[in-house]
A and B are shown apart, each in its own frame.
Chain A
């Protein structure tokens, strides 16, 4: 602010006083602005988060109490919802469904990480025929609504005999089918200098060694974001299992929760709320443990490039 050219020499004597007054005004305005901002944020934050807080409280309430008050604390806390909900109306407990979710998630995340890293490495560090067309296809898949490919995919998996298994959920991701991740990793890798890789090459490392020992460690933060997002999305995925998984013993938690809504008697609310809490718990824990990666991943995805 000091080097602003003053074009009115006549006003020179007043400048100091004027500046002080302006500074005072600005300070007051800024304090007011800060207060208003905190106030608004606190209100919005409360409105946003209260439903979740209420959900946790209500899951410990008795069925009679759930719709009688808006409070968080249960009058007579009970774990009945958890105990009965965990048993489910099927021959299996909810533990089985968590295990199934885990069985879907783990191979899917590993496959995604490997295939998307390979694709990003190719796009960011190599020149090859049709590169432009192929990279355009990443953007195209990103924008392509899944709804248009879903029916033929189903028919394909049916012909392969993969229905009612986890293969339809694993294989497309293991072939870098989630274009968002490819795009994110390409953006990230392009922003990193290739010096280290050059040095490794000069030292006689081949491209695979360079990928594993140089590129992957540099890519680690972005790769963690990819794994976390894939974990989260798969945990929440409902339509995929709904279409492909039909036996109850293979249900992931999302389907099991829907099943418990359909089969629980109309007034057993706390069971459903309790199981809802359990289903969102893994995602919440992972998010709070690693929130930095989520925020960075989302911000990076939106960067223009």
Chain B
């Protein structure tokens, strides 16, 4: 079976080459670069932790950007997942047009990070745009979406919540795989709809909630297209998410070392939060037929 073993590796060769060349080596290289000063003209110059010291002590743009990024993620991910779960729960019923609705709700996700949609957003939330017209129709004054720093970030959150489709499809698939007899048993025991949802449905959904949470979080931390097109990071840097800052430092100013340091801070934040999620998942994620001891 020796040949058989090598054969497996043979089929995996493209993947392994890609893993090394485009992921593993760049990953380590960016860690190295984050301790250097590198402007593309001269070769990287080792500068120790100077980049990190500057980030946390002298760079007010970074601190601002970091706060905005955390606010954005903690706002967007829970809102999006709650909405996705809510719609999935409504859809999970003997409805005639369930597929039609599912498709309709999925359309915005298909267009995803498309620039066209970011463009559309600029029009929708413009001072005389559709959103303000709709608000005006129900008696609310026009909102200054892009001029006011507290509102601008929220328009990007709304854009990503609008794209709740893929999280919803995953929730719906999980909901549909829940054993009907559990609900029948709950009904016989006299549990109402709300109690059934919180004590049966929700626990059984925790694995997919966990999956969606991690994926959406990693994605939200890397949001670029929305703020880049819709608000250009403004006003007053209120939508200047870290990926925008990294992009400008790296590809506009060519401060590759400094940009790598920002990227590593972002990466470490994502990693710590992911690890916290994994670690805490033992306490709140329920796997039916769990074989772990």
Which of B51-59, B127-135, B144-152, B194-202 faces chain A? Answer: B127-135
A45, A147, A301: the one within 8 Å of B243 (CB): A147
- B14/A174 in contact, CB under 8 A: yes
Is B70 positioned at the interface, with any CB of A under 8 Å from its CB? Answer: no
Interface centre among B87, B119, B266 (most CB of A within 10 A): B119
Inside 8 A of A284's CB, which chain B residues have their CB?
A: 107, 110-111
Q: Given A118-B15, A148-B264, are A238 and B21 also a contact pair (CB < 8 Å)?
A: no
In the docked arrangement, what's the CA distance between A69 and B246, Å? 40
Tell me whether chain A's interface is mostly helix, strand or loop, or mixed. helix
Does A295 make an interface contact (CB < 8 A)? yes
DSSP majority for the B interface? helix
- Contacting chain B: which of A12-20, A32-40, A191-199? A32-40
Closest residue of chain B to A50 (Cβ to Cβ) is B130
Partner of B12, one of A118, A174, A273: A118
Most A-side CB within 10 Å, residue of B15, B106, B112, B212: B15
Quote the shortest CB–CB distance from A191 to chain B (angstroms). Answer: 14
> What are 18 A-B contacts defined by CB distance under 8 Å?
A44-B105, A67-B128, A122-B10, A122-B12, A128-B5, A128-B6, A131-B8, A141-B19, A144-B27, A148-B27, A150-B26, A155-B256, A175-B17, A175-B22, A238-B228, A243-B251, A257-B115, A280-B117
Identify 18 new A-B residue pairs, CB closer than 8 A, beyond the known A67-B126, A235-B114, A237-B113: A34-B94, A37-B93, A51-B130, A70-B133, A119-B14, A126-B7, A141-B19, A141-B23, A147-B267, A148-B30, A152-B30, A156-B22, A175-B17, A175-B18, A232-B112, A257-B119, A258-B115, A277-B116
Name A residues whose Cβ lies closer than 8 Å to a Cβ of B: 1, 4, 33-34, 37-38, 40-41, 44-45, 48-52, 54-55, 58, 66-67, 69-70, 115, 118-119, 121-123, 125-129, 131, 134, 137, 141, 143-156, 171-172, 174-177, 182, 207, 211, 232-233, 235-239, 243, 254, 257-258, 261, 269, 272-273, 275-277, 279-280, 283-284, 287-288, 291, 294-295, 298-299, 301-304
